[in-house]
Amino acid sequence: MNSEAYIEVAIHLEPFSEELAEILMAELSDLPFDSFVTEEPCLKAYIQQDQYRPSAVKAVLSGYPSASFTASLVQGQNWNKAWEETFEPIVVDGVVTVKAPFNEDVPRTRFNIWIDPQMAFGTGYHHTTFMMMQRMLALEGFLRGRSVVDMGCGTAILAILAAKMRARKVFAVDIDAVAARSAWGNCRWNKVGSRVETACGDASLLQMNSYDVLLANIHRNIILQDLPTYVRSLRRGGHLLVSGFYEADVPSLKEAAIGLGLSHSGTSAREDWACLEFVKN
């Protein structure tokens, strides 16, 4: 895939509500839109140019008589500019710092991660990234010497942290080729390239191996779709950490995971976003 050109679909909602925007996000993710921004009274949705179908958007919005939309092309170089204008360093419990070259006066912590987006959607939602890193820190003793996979790795923040926490081997996967290349470069920039393998692909790549820890900070629909593959790829006693969804999505995700033989071992919430941890029995 090529993420250098995206279509921005701006959907005007009248009346606007966060709940309605969240419902639309879930429906549009199946088209597949992969990033969203809410700017009242609009929901802005982003999809790779070659996957955009106006008729599909119209079909989704047919159930919302008051909704209207416009579409515009966004060239790849704009993503870096927007990212630089909005990105703030992520500092987790005074232990982990994620920063970019243009961030100044950021204190050093025990684990310091430098990233360069390279046009990839890789910083993730800060709340979900924050919670995933918190849960990884709580698993530090377990992570040491283990094998880890970071699904939908983006710029590889979580993969790099796993390597810095002394995981034996880390596999970072993203379906977007630009993200995968960005992950490769960031791992080498952070001097963990020898222990992080990056690849462009989907969850089918996991079937080549088995893992002790599986990280997936991606959309709820993708997690539900790929959950059976995650479980098959996870070793007995292994941990699955998932985020990228709202608290309202927790019941359906828990039900699906428990139905596949996982045990729920923890939930985190932050500004309506959620993170779940499971263990394979």
Task: Provide the pairing of β-strand 147-151 with 111-114.
Answer: unpaired
Q: Are residues 142 and 61 in the same domain?
A: no
Written as one letter, the residue type at 98 is V
Q: d(Cα 182, Cα 198) in Å, to the nearest integer?
A: 10
Task: Work out the mean pLDDT of the chain and round it to a whole number.
Answer: 87
> Measuring CA to CA, which residue among 81, 82, 78, 84 is closest to residue 6?
78
Q: Minimal CA–CA distance to 83: which of 102, 97, 96?
A: 102
Q: Are residue 167 and residue 57 in the same domain, yes or no?
A: no
Three-point CA angle 64, 60, 1, nearest 5°: 145
Structure-token match 């008051």, residue found: 66
How many structural domains compose the chain?
Answer: 2
Q: What pLDDT shows up at residue 119?
A: 45
pLDDT at 111 over 50: yes
What does the pLDDT look like over 156-190, one tens digit per residue? 999 999 999 999 999 999 987 778 888 999 999 99
* Residues 6 or more apart in contact with residue 199 via CB below 8 angstroms: 171, 172, 173, 180, 205
Q: Which segment of 35-39, 109-113, 224-228 scores lowest on mean pLDDT?
A: 35-39
Shared domain check, 69 and 187: no
With 70 as the cut, is the pLDDT of residue 84 above it? no
**208 in a structural domain:** yes
The reply to whether 90 falls in a domain is: no
Query: Is residue 66 domain-shared with residue 203, that is, in the same domain?
Result: no
Residue 151 shares a structural domain with residue 59:
no
| Residue 112 counted as domain residue | no
- Whether 45 and 143 map to the same domain: the answer is no
Residue 81 has a pLDDT of 58
Using pLDDT thresholds of 50, 70 and 90, give the confidence band for residue 117: low
213 domain residue, yes or no: yes
pLDDT at 225 over 50: yes
Domain assignment present for residue 119? The answer is no
pTM: 0.76
Backbone angles phi, psi at 151, to 5 degrees: -85, 135
Are residues 216 and 276 located together in one domain of the fold?
yes
Q: Do 239 and 277 touch, CB atoms closer than 8 A?
A: yes
In a domain, 110, yes or no: no
* Long-range contact set of residues 127-130: C-beta below 8 Å, sequence gap at least 24: 127/270, 127/271, 127/273, 128/217, 128/243, 128/244, 128/245, 128/270, 128/273, 128/275, 129/90, 129/98, 129/157, 129/158, 129/217, 129/243, 130/90, 130/92, 130/270
Pair type for strands 196-200 and 169-174 = parallel
Q: Are 214 and 230 in contact (CB under 8 A)?
A: yes
Q: Name the token pair of 165.
A: 């926490």
Do 31 and 133 lie in a common domain? no
Per the listing, tokens 């699955």 go with 240
Please state, in angstroms and rounded to a whole number, the distance separating the CA atoms of residues 182 and 6.
Answer: 17
32 and 135 belong to one structural domain: no
Percent of the chain beyond pLDDT 70?
A: 90
Whether residues 10 and 148 share a domain: the answer is: no
* Residue (of 244, 247, 253) closest to 271 by Cα position: 247
Name the residue range of residue 12's domain: 5-75
69 and 130 housed in the same domain: no
CB 158 within 8 A of CB 133: yes
Domain ends where: 38, 56, 75?
75
In a domain, 108, yes or no: no
111 occurs within a structural domain: no
Same domain, 148 and 270: yes
Q: What is the C-alpha to C-alpha distance for residues 266 and 135, in angstroms, rounded to an integer?
A: 9
